[in-house]
């Protein structure tokens, strides 16, 4: 490893060293604020400050034993899983349909389907609140899941469309010539080949829904309080290490998902 680094320095000179230093500084700048809060979750005190008065797991025990935190987490998991499932069906269907089109029509449809991701979320949330108020979907799980599906579907559409662009269209025609129906051809030929892109899209849709706060504030009621909303409400009232504990769990969760997505990306690159 050291020999390889020396060889890189010898070949590329100061540019390689400067690039490595700048990359390291950027990583520290991005990660330091996130990692700095993790030790606070082990504080034995009731306030957030350095140096720590002592180490303790009391705040982890309080969060794990707290009914409101568990209910908020369960709501987030239910809504995010349901939204990701609906978004995967809609996103895959849209990507398949658009892949068979060309020209301005395909561009217009893609722009239309990506609009919820491009438009300011506060505008989307306010519009959905007015619409769902008329339909009786405000403060319901159905309304919250549909709202999250709206902003999660573009994530699936983007990744699946990218995977379809690398797919040889002759494979689908070959399966059809061998007697496979369009549905069977999709599940036996197309889906296995684009599976890394599909799984990446589903993960992105899940994370998008899990972290969504603006739509949740507009659409959800007390019974549909998700984890981000509960964190937001606690931050307005009192900041204690229990919030840092939940934040630590979310950081670890995000890191695991990142590694999974990188593994899927590597699989897609070698497929």
User: From the CB of residue 209, how many other CB atoms can be counted at a distance below 10 Å?
Assistant: 29
- CA pair distance 151, 128, nearest whole angstrom: 11
Give 14-25 pLDDT, tens digit per residue.
Answer: 677 778 888 888
Beta-carbon contacts of residue 211 (< 8 Å; ≥ 6 apart) = 228
- Contact between residue 42 and residue 56 where contact means Cβ atoms under 8 Å apart: yes
Number of H helices, E strands in the chain: 13, 0
pLDDT at 171: 79
Q: Per-residue confidence at 269, pLDDT binned at 50, 70, 90?
A: low
- CA pair distance 251, 157, nearest whole angstrom: 26
Two tokens, residue 177: 């010539």
The stretch 223-238 carries a mean pLDDT of 84
- CA pair distance 271, 249, nearest whole angstrom: 33
User: From the CB of residue 171, how many other CB atoms can be counted at a distance below 10 Å?
Assistant: 13
Most confident of 63-67, 145-149, 188-192: 145-149
- CA pair distance 241, 71, nearest whole angstrom: 19
How much of the chain exceeds pLDDT 90, in percent? Answer: 26
The answer on pLDDT for 102 being more than 80 is no
Beta-carbon contacts of residue 240 (< 8 Å; ≥ 6 apart) = 46, 47, 48, 59
- CA pair distance 44, 40, nearest whole angstrom: 9
More confident residue, 189 or 130: 130
More confident residue, 182 or 95: 95
- CA pair distance 69, 237, nearest whole angstrom: 15
Buried residues in 90-119 as b, exposed as e (16+ CB within 10 A):
bbbebbbebbeeeeeeeeeebeebeebbee
The answer on pLDDT for 65 being more than 60 is yes
Indicate the SS3 state at residue 205: helix
| Phi and psi torsions of 214, nearest 5° | -65, -50
């Amino acid at each position: 490893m050291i020999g390889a680094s020396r060889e890189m320095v010898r070949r590329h000179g100061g540019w390689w060293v400067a690039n490595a230093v700048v990359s390291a500084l950027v990583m520290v700048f991005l990660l330091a604020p996130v990692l700095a809060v993790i030790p606070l979750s082990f504080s034995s005190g009731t306030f957030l400050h350095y140096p720590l008065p002592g180490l303790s797991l009391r705040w982890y025990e309080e969060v794990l034993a707290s009914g409101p935190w568990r209910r908020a987490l369960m709501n987030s998991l239910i809504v995010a899983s349901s939204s990701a499932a609906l978004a995967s069906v809609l996103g895959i269907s849209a990507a398949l349909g658009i892949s068979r089109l060309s020209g301005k029509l395909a561009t217009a449809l893609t722009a239309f389907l990506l609009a919820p991701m491009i438009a300011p979320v506060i505008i989307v949330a306010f519009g959905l609140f007015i619409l769902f108020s008329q339909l009786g979907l405000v403060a319901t799980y159905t309304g919250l899941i549909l709202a999250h599906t709206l902003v999660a579907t573009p994530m699936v559409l983007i990744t699946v469309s990218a995977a379809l662009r690398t797919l040889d269209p002759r494979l689908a025609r070959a399966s059809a010539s061998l007697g496979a129906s369009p549905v069977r051809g999709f599940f036996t030929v197309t889906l296995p080949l684009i599976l890394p892109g599909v799984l990446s899209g589903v993960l992105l849709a899940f994370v998008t829904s899990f972290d969504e706060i603006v739509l949740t504030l507009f659409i959800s009621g007390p019974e549909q309080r998700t984890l981000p909303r509960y964190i937001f409400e606690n931050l307005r009232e009192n900041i204690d290490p229990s919030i840092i504990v939940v934040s630590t769990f979310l950081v670890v969760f995000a890191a695991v998902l990142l590694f999974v997505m990188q593994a899927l990306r590597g699989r897609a690159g070698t497929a």
